[in-house]
Structure 1
Amino acid sequence: MKFGFIGAGVVAQTIARHVMPYGHEVLLSNSRGPDTLADVVGKLGRGAFAGTPQQAAEQDVVVLSVEWPRVPEALASVPDWSGRTLIDATNRIDPDHPSDLGDVSGPTSSEIVADQAVGAKVVKAFNSIPMQWIEDASPEKPRTVLFISGDDASAKSALSEVLEQAGFAAVDLGTLAIGGRQQQVGGPLAGLNLTLHDPFVL
């Protein structure tokens, strides 16, 4: 599978390190151009490439991994989201005002993303834990629980297979409206570091 990342920071690089050992390719992009990512893809190694957001959107799966204030701009860089699988790895946090989560009783953050990426099959994932908790990409790493939510069953199933292959435990919480609310920042499942060693996970 080919993963395209819109955003090339810690989230994108961490995910890439986990999926690449299993034959998946990654294409990272940012707003400054592919040339600025030469060092990043060089460190990731074979199977990693740099490109534009438009090229990232042409991959099998697109991962949105930008800061929340940049979401509209990032999504608008792709003219047509119809039929694309879009993994929303963002959190509704403004770096300048981190305590302001907005109206968490209204639409979930991923529903907002889906409204701006019309036609995309949006899956919420990779947002509920800090990336430093899963920085170990070795085969011996703990089997960490990663929550996913979405309205398209096939998109969730495909992502779950990759997560399980990469050594995670994928837990499907349901729709963006219901599951997405549980795992987004401010929800009860955000910030939980669960592994299969935890007795209440078994």
Structure 2
Amino acid sequence: MSYAIVGFGAVGQALARAFARKGIDVTVASRRPADALAPQARAIGPRVIAKALQDAVGADTIILAIPFWEHREVAKALPSWEGKTVIDATNAFGVLPDELGGLPSSAVIAKAFTGAKFVKGFNHLIAATLAADPIVEGGHRVIFLSSDDEDATAPVASLAKELGFAAVKLGKLDEGGALVHARGRTWGQLIFQDLFKKEQ
């Protein structure tokens, strides 16, 4: 399985650190040329490789760590996303519900990635928390996952576990998934709930 992170701001770099910590190869890309990203990618770890967007989307699984509206440009990188898994780590905080046609933000993004298996995830932790070791005080940081394709969630849950997180499946995007979607100026109810501990 190959992985790419599209977007190399604070969240994209935090995700890259999570991969590097576990020694998992990951490609990173953004609107900037690969050469501009390469020094920071190398500083994170030798298995974090900067590539052009067109090359990065050749990965099996692509994580979107971009400002919400940039998804339209990323989606144009391939004529079809069939066979790809797209993980939406964006937040639409500040985007008016009217602009989304009443849909959860991820449902809007999913429409642009025709044919992809689409999962909402990795969006609710602030970058500093996402970049840090997810094993804390005997517990694991949580990654909430939601998708309208039940089969798509399992491999993303496996990735989250491999990265050291506890994956919690919330169901469909407009059901449990709504708990981690920003709407206008309101954060989802679970946005800042991030630590899972097993009872002793």
TM bucket (normalised to shorter chain) is 0.7 to 0.9
Give, as a single letter, the amino acid of the residue that structure 1 aligns with 2:123: N
For residues 56-75 of structure 1, the aligned pairs below 5 Å read: 56-75=56-75
- TM-superposition CA deviations, 1:130-166 (whole Å, max 9, x none): 1222331376675111100012333211111121222
1:47 aligns with 2:47: yes
After superposition, the Cα gap between the structure-2 partners of 1:46 and 1:176, relative to the gap in structure 1 and judged at 3 Å, is same
Cα distance change of structure 1 residues 188 and 178 upon mapping to structure 2, 3 Å threshold: same
SS of 1:144's partner is: strand
| 2:96 matched residue in structure 1 | 101
Q: Is the 8 A contact 2:8 2:65 kept in 1?
A: yes
Deviations 1:45-78, CA, capped at 9 Å, x for gaps: 2211111222221112101111112221122223
Is the CA contact (8 Å cut-off) linking 1:2 and 1:24 kept in structure 2? no
Q: Which amino acid aligns with 2:124?
A: S
Matched to 1:63, the amino acid is I
Structure-2 change in CA distance of 1:24 and 1:17 (3 Å): same
Change (3 A) 1:109 1:138: closer
Find the aligned partners of 1:172 and 1:105 in 2 and give their Cα distance.
25
Aligned length: 195
Is this contact kept in 2: 1:124–1:149, CA < 8 A? Answer: yes
CA contact (8 A) 1:83 1:121 kept: yes
Superposed CA RMSD: 2.4
Separation in 1 of the partners of 2:96 and 2:134? 34
In 2: Cα distance, 1:139 partner to 1:181 partner? 26
Shift of 1:128: 1.7
Distance in 2, matches of 1:168 and 1:54, equals 29
| Structure 1 partner of 2:158 | 161
Matching residue of 1:88: 88
Give the TM-score taking structure 2 as reference length. Answer: 0.86
Letter in 1 for 2:191: G
- Contact map agreement 1:4 1:55 (CA 8 A) in 2: no
What letter matches 1:128 in structure 2? H
Q: Partners in 1 of 2:3 and 2:11 — Cα distance?
A: 13
Contact 1:150 1:179 in 2 (8 A): no
Q: Which residue of 2 aligns with 1:129?
A: 125
Identify which range, 181-190 or 79-88, moves more after superposition.
Answer: 181-190
Does structure 2 retain, via aligned residues, the 8 Å contact 1:128–1:185? no
2:112 pairs with one of 113, 116, 119: 116
Unaligned runs of 5+ in 2: none
Decide whether the 8 Å contact of 1:17 with 1:137 is kept in 2: no
Question: What are the ranges of 5 or more consecutive residues in structure 1 without an aligned counterpart?
Answer: none
What is the deviation of 1:124?
Answer: 0.2
Q: Which runs of 4+ in 1 moved over 6 A?
A: none
**In 2: Cα distance, 1:74 partner to 1:105 partner:** 21
In the TM superposition, what whole-angstrom CA distance separates every residue of 1:102-142 from its partner, at most 9, and x where no partner exists? Answer: 24781111111111111111100111221222331376675
